[in-house]
Amino acid sequence: MDTRFKWPDGKKVAVCITFDVDAESGWKFDPANQQRLSLLSSGAYGRRTGVPRILRLLAKHGIPAQFFVPGYTAEIDPALVKSIHDAGYPIGCHGYDHERTDELTYEQEDDILARSKDRLASITGIVPTGFRAPLWEITPQTLQLLDKHGFEYDSSLMGDDIPYCVQAGQKDLLELPVTWLLDDWEQFAYSAMPQTGYVIEEPEKVLRMWKAEFSALYEEGCYFMLTMHPEIIGRASRIAMLDQLVTFIKSHEGVWFCTPEMLAKSWRTGEFSTEKHPY
Ligand SMILES: [Zn+2]
């Protein structure tokens, strides 16, 4: 048992099911990709087929989940964002064109944060307070700007397997850490051009791996933050695997299915406290 930390209401473990709706924005880093219709369609698959399949699975289980949506995805498919919002799932920022933060000037990053927040708020009526960096990379500049733009939490760092705080400008920012171990991209993503990924893993293998990590984190009373992409996890056999994983997690006592948004509120209202780390 990890004794540094206590979940509210005697819960034993927190489970966050999250989806980054990269879609076509994930390929915007290279202008040549804009002519690659097959590549772009693999992103569109996530919007057209993946998200509806995910929403059906979440409704079947009656569990909360959260989506992080780049501004560009929202720009080309506002109805998608509305469908996620109308189904009751919170939405956080994930860049505009899925930009790498480590390549941005202060002015560029400032502008991207403002535009991505505005784009989502114009559809949902809610100003996002959560951020997840594209490619999970943030810089000291990102932290300053997250403070400036009023973000309450980030979910990009990897420094623990319980929530912690980092200094962002004048305030503490809640960090909800992630790990490549619990990311579908690493397991399943593959593209020939541009070359991405190496081998497409079997759902059974990923189910074993994720169950093992959940079971160990459950024993320690930590948290289980799963990050997935609709264009990747949204394939039929993988949604069936996710269905089995959720069923397995639900069979445990004291599981708190929650969202980053719910964790931020719980932290803000003092229901749990965290350690502070530099990153
Ligand atoms: Zn992404």
pLDDT recorded at residue 61: 98
- Spell out the domain ranges in the chain: 11-268
pLDDT recorded at residue 198: 86
User: In angstroms, what is the span from residue 25 Cα to ligand 1's centroid?
Assistant: 8
CA–CA dist 193, 212 (Å, integer): 33
pLDDT recorded at residue 217: 97
User: In angstroms, what is the span from residue 99 Cα to ligand 1's centroid?
Assistant: 9
User: In angstroms, what is the span from residue 22 Cα to ligand 1's centroid?
Assistant: 5
User: In angstroms, what is the span from residue 18 Cα to ligand 1's centroid?
Assistant: 11
User: In angstroms, what is the span from residue 124 Cα to ligand 1's centroid?
Assistant: 20
What is the C-alpha end-to-end distance of the chain, expressed in Å?
23
Nearest in space to 129 (alpha carbons), one of 189, 176, 193? 176
CA–CA dist 21, 7 (Å, integer): 29
Task: Look at residue 22 and give its three-state secondary structure.
Answer: coil
Asked if the peptide bond before residue 134 counts as cis, ω within 30 degrees of 0, the response is: no
Residues near ligand 1 ion, CB 5 Å cutoff: 20, 22, 134
Q: Which residues of 183-201 are buried (b: 16+ CB within 10 A; e: fewer)?
A: bbbbbbbeeeeeeeeeeeb
What residues form DSSP beta bridges with 226?
Answer: 17
Q: Does domain 11-268 have CATH number 3.20.20.370?
A: yes
pLDDT recorded at residue 3: 80
Flag residues of the chain having pLDDT under 50: none
User: In angstroms, what is the span from residue 133 Cα to ligand 1's centroid?
Assistant: 7
pLDDT, tens digit, for every residue of 4-41?
A: 888 999 999 999 999 999 999 999 999 999 999 999 99
What residues form DSSP beta bridges with 130?
Answer: 153
Task: Look at residue 31 and give its three-state secondary structure.
Answer: helix
At 93, list the tokens: 């920022």
User: In angstroms, what is the span from residue 224 Cα to ligand 1's centroid?
Assistant: 19
pLDDT recorded at residue 191: 92
pLDDT recorded at residue 110: 98
User: In angstroms, what is the span from residue 49 Cα to ligand 1's centroid?
Assistant: 18
User: In angstroms, what is the span from residue 162 Cα to ligand 1's centroid?
Assistant: 22
CA–CA dist 82, 233 (Å, integer): 21
pTM metric for this prediction:
0.97
pLDDT, tens digit, for every residue of 81-119?
A: 999 999 999 999 999 999 999 999 999 999 999 999 999
User: In angstroms, what is the span from residue 11 Cα to ligand 1's centroid?
Assistant: 30
User: In angstroms, what is the span from residue 33 Cα to ligand 1's centroid?
Assistant: 16
Q: Which residues of 145-169 are buried (b: 16+ CB within 10 A; e: fewer)?
A: bbbebebbbbbbbeebbbbbbbbbe
Q: Which residues of 214-249 are buried (b: 16+ CB within 10 A; e: fewer)?
A: beebbeebbbbbbbbbbbbbbbeebbebbeebbeeb
**Mean pLDDT over each residue of the chain, to the nearest integer:** 96
At 107, list the tokens: 């002015």
Please give the share of the chain, as a percent, with pLDDT higher than 90. 96
